[in-house]
Amino acid sequence: MISIQQLTKTFGKLTALDQISTELPDSTCLALIGPNGSGKTTLAKSILGIVHPDKGQIIYKGKNIIGDFAFKSSIGYMPQIGRYPENMTIGQILDMIKDIRGEKHLDEDLSDAFSLNKLLHKTMRSLSGGTTQKVSAALAFLFDPEVLMLDEPTAGLDPVAQGILKEKILLEKSKGKLIVITSHILSELDDLVSAVLYMQEGKLLFNKTIEQLREQTGQVRLSSAIAQIMQSNPIS
């Protein structure tokens, strides 16, 4: 579980995170959503260690992980758009990351499911956006991390690949892992997420389970439930 305590971050006069306090439990696939400028990206980057908050703590296994680079070995990150050396092949990218980490236990389920072994000779510059996404997904899960941060994970993937990735996400959640997904396509999250953290103007509007949202709104679909809540909480 990750416990976020009074997290605050400002950029000049902009308050990107305004004393955010919440908990992200294990065995959860959580949707981190909100309109543009809501602070969700800043929160995600704070957990990843890319952004250093001005105040507050992020507690993982009883330890404040802000500035703790060792925590990064416990987290897998899939960016919305992966950036890789264009002249390197898929095989070289995978081997390089494996060598850097030096870990023997590998989770190559996605590499196998996406048949990346048949594409190892292809350079990154020659890949379609969807295939690049497959490489990013395979790398995120490769070292069996306890926490996964996935940014628009299904973007650019064909329906078959989307299904493979969703099955993998649900499998990892069943193992007790925390998975945080940011996405603008709420319809793709209906069969994935078990909780929703919604941010607005740097503030935490709510962090609720899907069951709580359905009970509150009477809506089955996530997109409909969120729309109903936002109608009663318009952006100022």
Domains of the chain: 2-232 (3.40.50.300)
- Cβ atoms within 10 Å, residue 178: 22
* Mean confidence (pLDDT) of the chain: 95
Confidence category of residue 235, pLDDT binned at 50, 70, 90: low
Of 75, 71, 73, 117, the C-alpha closest to 94 is: 117
| pLDDT tens string 100-159 | 999 989 999 999 999 999 999 999 999 999 999 999 999 999 999 999 999 999 999 999
- pLDDT for the residue 76: 97
If pLDDT is split at 50, 70 and 90, which confidence band does 186 have?
Answer: confident
Q: Which long-range contacts (CB under 8 A, 24 or more apart) does 219-227 make?
A: 221/187, 221/190, 222/31, 222/186, 222/187, 222/189, 222/190, 222/193, 222/196, 223/186, 223/187, 223/190, 226/33, 226/186, 226/196, 226/198
**pTM for the full predicted model:** 0.93
pLDDT one-digit tens code per residue, 56-95: 999 999 999 999 988 999 999 999 999 999 999 999 999 9
What pLDDT was estimated at residue 234?
Answer: 58
For the ranges 20-24, 151-155, 184-188, which has the lowest average pLDDT? 184-188
Q: How far apart are the first and last CA of the chain?
A: 32
DSSP conformation letters of 194-223:
SEEEEEETTEEEEEEEHHHHHHHH--SSHH
Q: Residue 230: which pLDDT band, with cuts at 50, 70 and 90? A: confident
pLDDT of residue 236: 47
pLDDT grade, residue 227 (50/70/90)? confident
